[in-house]
Structure 1
Amino acid sequence: MSTLATIGFVGAGRVGEPMVERLLAAGHRVRLYTRRAEVGDRLSAAGAQLVPAVRDIADVDVVVNCLFSDAQVLAVLPEVVGAMGERTVLLSHTTGTPATLSRLDQFSPTGKAAVVDGAFSGTADAARAGRLVIYLGGEPEQVATARQVVGAYAEHIITTGARGSGMLVKLLNNLLFATIGQVTLRGLEAGRALGIDDSALLEALSVSGGGSNAGRHIAALGGPDRYTATVTPFLRKDLAACQEMAAEMGLDLSALLAVAHGGPMDLADTTTLENGAVR
């Protein structure tokens, strides 16, 4: 693949849209499938080619999937995988389970889909600034192809091993983020009981041993309430995926999951965002 690629894209949601913007700014050609007219209008004005059917994104160098959930992946991507050329790589940014990626193989004409899992860490603002963290798992040649694409919106690109390993790294990262976030929120509750303002304790934590990335996010978002509202929907989905992955692999994550589910954030509800709609 040349440095500049033709890219098919599906999933131009909160993070996917700035990904497309960065890809276009880097000079890549983007074929975009979206059901949301307002997103299509904005991105076509930026240079994306809108296509009427999702299979129309398949005849490219790299297909980028930024759908929200496993359910969306299995509803949308089989048609794409079935239409992909021999040299096309599917880069999947969806955080779900490795088993879902394996299920895509049955739709490939070759019996093994050329999939690189590229789970990511970061926000829409991070994507817009080119500062996402991407975990890439897959065959070395396919990972090298994916790396040339994600460089448009990622600051840190970490190769994790075989296909599915990037997703496992992301799931463990988010499980730890949830546990540390719950513990930090408990600490802020204790501080308030002692008459310490959240802002003062968060400032202290930012330069002290009890600090964490979760604490910095709480401070940056303006306190526990906004933090909880922002991260809860995503952590609910990812913790559900962690539980499913652990069950599939016979892994005992009960101690960490107990902490993740035992704090001020209600992470037990696994309802997904946008009711599973394709973005």
Structure 2
Amino acid sequence: MATVAFIGLGVMGYPMAGYLSRAGHCVRVYNRTLSRKDQWLRAYTGWGFATPGEAARGAEVVFTCVGNDHDLSEVVRGEQGALAAMGRGTLLVDHTTVSADITRSLAVCARDREIGYLDAPVSGGQAGAQKGSLTVMVGGQEADYQRALPLINCYADAVKLMGPVGSGQLCKMVNQICIAGVVQGLAEGLHFAKAAGLDAEEVVSVISKGAAQSWQMENRSKTMLAGEYEHGFAVDWMRKDLAIVLDEARRNGALLPLTALVDQFYSEVQAIGGSRWDTSSLFARLMKIRPFE
């Protein structure tokens, strides 16, 4: 069993750290909102600390799962951050979806202190974290990956090393590009079905058996039609991710016209009060424009 630290107990990190505890590992936790840390300690066996550095001290592997580039930099290399407290030969594994730039920068800081670094963003959303069935895309060195793999497997069904540091974040960007396009396509399909006077649920029951089938169709079509958008991954977070994607595309020359358009549509969802709705709320935007009542 390993001594690990988990920094960030949000909707993803909370159950992920829980799975490490249930597997028997010694888990040291930190969260900026202290009440969330206390809640976790009532649910799981572990130790809570007041700063990221205190949580990281003595841990063999430190996991981070926070909000954005700024949050990650603060908990890793801030005045009370994890890096300063970590010993030589330890490993930092970041599960936050952030830019490849901050990932590479932090990896250099870690290497200078003889600490391993993996960028390991996740896919599967809140439901995947709660079920322990996440997909994890990893960038870094093979030896570090093999060291972290048994721990990551506590809350993941699929884990793959994609290449050097930064590769995990780039793979996650591809994931978000594909999700954006599929959700918009599903939203438009359901909207068209209603405009045509069809029973949209019956349409889905048929086309989901063919080439149009997707995870979004299977898991979100009914709730979209019911106007239910409380499924975890908020529009605010999706826009954060798409901003990272579009910034990277400007640098590498990738053409992403659909992604840019869907990002604009999500800004319209925010404007109608949907900042905390989940990503399937693209359908709500269409129904706001043309409700078919």
Q: TM-score, normalising length from structure 1?
A: 0.86
Q: CA separation in 1, counterparts of 2:232 and 2:56?
A: 33
Which runs of 5 or more structure 1 residues have no equivalent in the other structure? 274-279
Q: CA separation in 1, counterparts of 2:266 and 2:193?
A: 14
Using the TM superposition, name which of 173-182 and 220-229 deviates more.
Answer: 220-229
Q: 1:105–1:117: structure 2 CA closer, same or farther, 3 Å change rule?
A: closer
In structure 2, the partner of 1:97 is 99
CA-to-aligned-CA distance 1:197-244 (integer Å, 9 cap, x gap): 332222223212122222223236453733488542332111111012
Matches within 5 A, 1:108-119: 108=110, 110=112, 114-119=116-121
Q: 1:224–1:86: structure 2 CA closer, same or farther, 3 Å change rule?
A: farther
- Identity among equivalent positions (%) equals 26
In structure 1, the partner of 2:75 is 76
RMSD of equivalent CA atoms? 2.6
Work out the number of aligned pairs and report it. Answer: 268
Matches within 5 A, 1:24-173: 24-45=21-42, 46-59=44-57, 60-78=59-77, 79-105=81-107, 107-108=109-110, 110=112, 114-173=116-175
Using the TM superposition, name which of 30-39 and 167-176 deviates more.
Answer: 30-39
Q: CA separation in 1, counterparts of 2:172 and 2:132?
A: 18
**1:141 offset after TM fit, Å?**
0.7
In structure 2, the partner of 1:180 is 182
Q: 1:208–1:244: structure 2 CA closer, same or farther, 3 Å change rule?
A: same
1:12 and 2:14 aligned: no
User: 1:76 is aligned with what amino acid?
Assistant: V
Contact 1:23–1:149 at 8 Å: present in 2 too? yes
Q: Which has the higher contact order (CA 8 A, sep 6+)?
A: 1
**1:118 offset after TM fit, Å?**
0.8
* Secondary structure in structure 1 of the residue aligned to 2:165: coil
Q: TM-score, normalising length from structure 2?
A: 0.82
Contact 1:81–1:104 at 8 Å: present in 2 too? no
Which runs of 5 or more structure 2 residues have no equivalent in the other structure? 277-293
User: 1:241 is aligned with what amino acid?
Assistant: I
Contact 1:92–1:117 at 8 Å: present in 2 too? yes
CA-to-aligned-CA distance 1:48-97 (integer Å, 9 cap, x gap): 10112211122311110010211211222112123221111111011111
